[in-house]
Structure 1
């Protein structure tokens, strides 16, 4: 202690971590004892000098990494960790002889009273022993990983090849999706429209489906669904489930029974478990709507005056999610002529880091404002709600 308070200079010098105090221009203002020992230079050889003078070898690589790290600290005001990076150090008693060393640099901002960055603390942790131990344990593969990490150009080439492969899979998957999602049947007494919007990310395409069917009884069956996976595998599963549900609606009398059959079928299909779907039957003569949901976002029923009601009265877990098969619930609701039924997948309302209720409210507001639009126009407007991070399917039916 110095009588005034804590001796921070003494703590700095006594720290076992090698540390420098830098200006934003990477000029060394001070170096603690651990740093001096680590690089083989005393404080007089370091103060007031550019930091790279402590590392005569591999200067270009160090310059790139450290400058980028300090720049991130200055831009964000947050600590930045860099490495592992190799910098060889000259042996103190053997001029011109350098020993391979590995480091993990950490840079942190020091704020002044106004909250501005005044200095940068540069901490250098030597991890040479760890690297050598990993080499011994992992052999050539571990060394290749370190070399790949250190060489950004090679990493960029790998990423580019992956991007091209993903783009190819996206094209194939979308072609398969398009083949299995033909234009829906025209309904005899109602107008309808559908939209399918693939995710922007090649890894997130496919898995959503819709189905609009004119039943032999004269009623209508409308459904949407979402397979958990993505890509070609999800497109294949989607095709099987969509076909099975379409067949089931033609031989049963209500949506819950259709989902019962689909649940049993999904348990025999690889990749089908936890699929969500909602099935509706529209009895247009009596103006009644029956529905059943397997873990899917609730359909929206828009009344002629613009009031929006989410149909969440018959929701059960996704397909195959329960240990034992149980009959699905079902609910029935009446509607007035001129109402609008909207079915959709979660890509329309879900956002990363946002509660789904916010997305549902956003959908309700848009439907209230545009419920008088032509179904085709309304479907296009709704599809724009998607942020592109996931597939989106939308079905609009004017009742």
Structure 2
């Protein structure tokens, strides 16, 4: 069979279904003819514009939530690199001829990633089929079993929409409580003793603003010393936040009276056994002695802190790693190790949301972190924290929470 040249651009334009190409910034890169007809917008109204500027939610029916659910789906595609098939969504459309008038419409969307040469999502294929007329027609006829089923489907869609509205209201109330928890427990402390520190917290995509990750910076008794720690509780929402608060407070108290970080983690490990929801919780804590210029550390199943030396050398503090806090049924002394630093070095602690990615070895994420720190080692802690998050987190946000602490020594 002779080879033929296929004009894929012409095929794309002629596809009968509505298809749009979106950039990672959710801007229309292209649309086919069916999308132009079905949306009631011209190509000039679409291409080059932000999706939700063209199609905002119906201001008269904000509880319909179509834009909210679509945004969450697109961000999932960007962060996971996997196709996301959405349930039938209500998404009202404003009439281009009669501004201010909105038509109730139902759509079935599928969002699929297209990868670039670097392996990252370069485009999203946003394909939708309108289900409004089908549902309405079937609900009106009801003369045969198929019509009855479609009428029931239409009614179920409306019931699900009402349920979604109630869930969103409950979610909003829970979010208010979560924000209060975050402000109380994860304060944006900028200085410990005479040393500048930057702290950052980024919740997972679609999560409340506070989840299971935490950080803490405290002044230690005796000499010119501080303690810096981070931890991670499995799960999201207020339950995980409550466990996070208990473990964080316990470690903070234990660190003030312990001989070293290992002893502090020993105490918190025993406590974790009686805290429901603390299963598989991890933590790492460091005691920094500025008089001796030493860092003593211990880790309970957590990714290693990074010591960025003034000359650009990166040292992972991974010589005292043990299982998570509640892993052992009987108390066992945890390991502890020390290293030295010179003034001007930088200590970085973080949670796994910063470095872990699906289908990727964790060493790749650690190398990415080391390179970012090395390139920007002259930046002050605040700028360095922002740069690291920008370079390491996916454009649409991570699927896991991220806490980050940067301390200039």
Bin of the TM-score, shorter chain as denominator length: 0.5 to 0.7
The correspondence of residues 158-169 of structure 1 with structure 2, limited to 5 A, is 158-169=163-174
CA-atom RMSD in angstroms: 3.9
CA drift of 1:185 comes to: 7.5
Figure out how many residues of one structure are paired with residues of the other and give that number: 287
Distance 2:294 2:370 in 1: 21
Distance 1:353 1:158 in 2: 35
Match of 2:160 among 137, 140, 155: 155
> Could you say which residue in structure 2 is the equivalent of 1:386?
393
CA contact (8 A) 1:213 1:221 kept: yes
Match of 2:318 among 304, 307, 312: 312
> Could you say which residue in structure 2 is the equivalent of 1:235?
241
Distance 1:177 1:149, change over 3 A: farther
CA drift of 1:166 comes to: 2.2
Q: Secondary structure at the match of 2:204?
A: coil
The correspondence of residues 319-358 of structure 1 with structure 2, limited to 5 A, is 319-358=325-364
Distance 1:234 1:255 in 2: 24
Match of 1:100 among 117, 138, 145: 145
Q: Secondary structure at the match of 1:250?
A: helix
CA drift of 1:275 comes to: 0.8
CA drift of 1:210 comes to: 0.9
> Could you say which residue in structure 2 is the equivalent of 1:172?
177
Q: Secondary structure at the match of 1:336?
A: coil
> Could you say which residue in structure 2 is the equivalent of 1:375?
381
Distance 1:153 1:101, change over 3 A: closer
CA drift of 1:101 comes to: 5.9
Distance 1:276 1:25 in 2: 52
Q: Secondary structure at the match of 2:405?
A: strand
Distance 1:251 1:322 in 2: 23
> Could you say which residue in structure 2 is the equivalent of 1:298?
304
CA contact (8 A) 1:216 1:250 kept: yes
CA drift of 1:250 comes to: 0.7
Match of 1:246 among 249, 252, 261: 252
Q: Deviations over 1:122-155 (max 9, x none)?
A: xxxxxxxxx9xxxxxxxxxxxxxx9468843433
Distance 2:318 2:341 in 1: 15
Distance 1:374 1:156 in 2: 48
**Structure 2 gap segments, 5+ residues each:** 1-14, 18-106, 113-123, 126-134
> Could you say which residue in structure 1 is the equivalent of 2:67?
none
Distance 1:278 1:25 in 2: 55
Q: Secondary structure at the match of 1:270?
A: coil
Distance 1:224 1:98 in 2: 63
Q: Deviations over 1:76-134 (max 9, x none)?
A: 9xxxxxxxx9x99xxxxxxxx976369xxxxxxxxxxxxxxxxxxxxxxxxxxxx9xxx
Match of 1:262 among 256, 264, 268: 268
Match of 2:187 among 168, 182, 187: 182
CA drift of 1:320 comes to: 0.6
Q: Secondary structure at the match of 1:202?
A: coil
Distance 1:180 1:190 in 2: 21
Structure number with greater Rg is 1
CA drift of 1:225 comes to: 0.7
Match of 2:202 among 197, 202, 205: 197
Q: TM-score, normalised by structure 1?
A: 0.62
Distance 1:238 1:175 in 2: 14
CA contact (8 A) 1:186 1:214 kept: no
Distance 1:149 1:311, change over 3 A: farther
CA contact (8 A) 1:195 1:394 kept: yes
**Structure 1 gap segments, 5+ residues each:** 1-23, 27-66, 77-84, 89-96, 103-130, 132-145
Distance 1:171 1:147 in 2: 36
CA contact (8 A) 1:184 1:213 kept: no
> Could you say which residue in structure 2 is the equivalent of 1:211?
216
Detail structure 1 runs of 4+ shifted over 6 Å in the superposition: none
Range with greater deviation from structure 2 (253-262 or 320-329) = 320-329
CA contact (8 A) 2:272 2:325 kept: yes
Distance 1:206 1:178 in 2: 12
Distance 1:271 1:379 in 2: 30
Q: Secondary structure at the match of 2:180?
A: helix
Distance 1:195 1:204 in 2: 12
